[in-house]
Amino acid sequence: MSFFTYFIIFFSSIISSTRAFDADASTNVAVYWGQNSEGDQQSLGTYCESSDADIFILSFLYEFPTLGLNFANACSDTFSDSSLLHCSQIAEDIQTCQSLGKKVLLSLGGSSGSYGFTNDSQAETFAETLWDTFGEGSGVTDRPFDTATVDGFDFDIENNESTGYAALVNKLRTLFEDGSKTYYISAAPQCPYPDASVGDLLENADVDFAFIQFYNNYCNVDKEFNFDTWVNYAENVSPNKNIKLFVGLPGSSTAASSGYISDLDTVRSMVANLSSYSNFGGISLWDISQADANEIDDETYLYWMKEILENVGTASSSFSNSSASISVVTSIASSSLIVSPTATSTVLSTIASSEIIPSSISSSSSSSSPTILSPVTSAYSSDVTSSTSSVETTNLQTTLDPTTSNFLSTSTTEFRTTSTLEPVVITDHENVTTDAVVTTDAVVTTDAVVTASDCSSLTESASSFSRSTTVLSPTSTIPVSSTTSSSTVETTTATSTTAVTVATSAHEKAVELNEQYSQGLYNGESTCTEGEMACSSDGKYAVCNWGTWVTFDCAAGTTCYAYDYNDEIFTQCNWSYLKSNFE
């Protein structure tokens, strides 16, 4: 083989191993590095050799305005004239990562530390300190990463103090203009919206990425997943309408108290559903030491996240001309309209005390799919008063030209009723598989919403995942699980209703825990385990850190208490007005 051939092979291998970073992609994986949460953390440079991660977030700058860094086992040297870490190896690794096409951000905050500002002016001054110390500024001599410069800053603020961060980022943006490269800003809010710590930052500054923590919360992916609430934020609140939203997950079962997803099919279904959102950016992981050590089917969890994003997410968005599903969102009480793709469709639904007559739905057609009405149990119900209970059966057949996302403007719905409408309990359901779910609460909506859901290889995994519509305030609908598919489903509303009450051991345990919390007993033991969660007697969120309970204020309108959901118990900040249900 000639020298020229060897050179071509060598050069090609370098090109293939270095990917250009695309901030607009929906397949990026962001990972936190530095806290050695798994116990066997490798060097930053070692992890950057993997093609499975795109953004590396150094954690943490845990003290400021007076600088204090902590990278666990990765750095212990300090400057001779201060206690500030001097991390020459990390500096080399940052440059190695950047040469491989990775972006390296420095994260400020963390769950423990001493940080914050008294006013905006102090925060703006600190922006210059950050720029001089970790960016392309020149006002300091002690640079922890020597001549290496990070690619931006992440704000993982968790002390419920929001003062100054928007001003800090806005000042950084002006300093970035003098830089030689593109700099990025990210934030890591908890999934409950709005976040008490970085909510103001997200609403009043230009943020590129939001690494939303869907773990250790009631809005975890497998619980009350509220990604659409964050999409609403991106589209209607964020100053940056192109902000990329990441689903933050634990890298293993030991990385967080709740929220880890071991079932890869659940992740596939999630990605297949979220890839239609232009603001979806990918998955973020806490942390890489956990995700790299956690193996499923002989591959790391980190590998699987990237593989799923690139194969499921990309395939889902490219199947815009495969088959369309239509959901006519019209409901009495709380209901879900379930879509299952087939060539033709018939919907048979029996509704007591009312009739719904869809009319004038105009669309071009090349394929069609059924609209199946599936029952949902309302969390609250009351009596329905009616005269004579007329029963109407409506058969609906619809054909539609498949597209990824359409809104049919020429859609009208005629609604007539002979009763006073209140939420009711819907019963007697069978054989329902959900490809996409649109949930409404006691409203009548006249637009038909179309989503593309049938992508052959994705249909099976998507059937196990429900994407429910939420708003910026909590809903009271309790979701029910689905079984196998059927092209025709008959559902009947109850002619009389009774209040839904759940008396389970989980509920009783939640009540007991809240009594325990109210007495200031936390976990009821004299000691606590690292990462264990509880509530203080005054409603603060408590986490065990090095054998001591550390408390945090809950966001306005929320308080800390235990509650049960689907026979599981959660302790977290939740809406104050719901607490009485668990006392």
Q: Which residues are catalytic?
A: 158
What does the DSSP 8-state code read for residue 242?
T
- Position 90: which residue type? I
Task: Please give the Cα distance from 66 to 19 (Å, whole number).
Answer: 36
> CA–CA separation, 62 vs 71, rounded Å?
10
What is the chain's length? 583
Half-sphere exposure of 353 (CA within 13 A, CB side): 18
> CB–CB of 219/191 below 8 Å?
yes
In this structure, what token pair is assigned to residue 248?
A: 């933050």
Distance of alpha carbon 27 from alpha carbon 24, whole angstroms = 9
Six-digit token string for 14: 């370098």
Asked whether the beta carbons of 309 and 408 are under 8 A apart, the reply is no
Which residues make Cβ contacts (< 8 Å) with residue 364, sequence separation at least 6? 400, 401
What token pair was written down for 311? 């194969």
Q: Where are the alpha helices (DSSP H) in 31-164?
A: 44-48, 88-99, 120-134
Which positions ≥6 away from 340 have C-beta within 8 Å?
325, 369, 370, 372, 433, 435, 485, 486, 487
- Of 51, 32, 49, which is closest to residue 41 (Cα–Cα)? 32
- Angle (CA) 185-188-192 rounded to 5° is 135
Please list, in sequence order, all residues whose beta carbon lies within 8 angstroms of the beta carbon of residue 487, skipping any fewer than 6 positions away. Answer: 340, 342, 345, 346, 370, 372
Give me the residue label for tokens 């990237």. 306
Say if CB 73 and CB 41 are below 8 A apart: yes
3-state SS, residue 299: strand
Residues whose CB falls within 8 Å of the CB of residue 534, separated by 6 or more in sequence, listed in order: 517, 522, 523, 528, 542, 544, 549, 571
Decide: helix, strand or coil at residue 483. Answer: coil
The H or E element that residue 220 is part of is none
Q: How many helices (H) and strands (E) does the chain have?
A: 13, 33
